[in-house]
Amino acid sequence: MTIFLLIILSIIFLILTICWKLFRTAFRVGLFILISIFLIAVTSKSLIIDHSLNQDTFLNNARSILKPIFYFVD
């Protein structure tokens, strides 16, 4: 269920980026690539660790991936 939700969200995000022409600046292209990599990383980590893919596992994996990013931002 979570995988299908992520696929739908990434397709919606791709359509929005094309519609809003976010590919004009390098910063926005980089942001799009980072969000795509984040979605793939969370999905693959959920698949490796827990095959049930419940929401708690998804949120914990998202937090563990985002911790280093927020460390450098602070």
Type of residue numbered 48: I
Token pair 């990013």 is found at 69
| pLDDT score at 12 | 73
**Encoded tokens for 9:** 């969200």
Separation CA 7–CA 39 (nearest Å): 9
Query: Which pLDDT belongs to residue 25?
Result: 61
Instruction: Pick left, alpha or beta for residue 22 (phi over 0 → left; psi -120 to 50 → alpha; otherwise beta).
Output: alpha
C-alpha 30/C-alpha 7 separation (Å) is 20
| Tokens 């969200």 -> residue | 9
The 10s digit of each residue's pLDDT in 20-74 is: 665 566 566 667 777 777 777 766 655 555 555 555 666 666 677 667 665 555 4
Q: What is the pTM (predicted TM-score) of this model?
A: 0.33
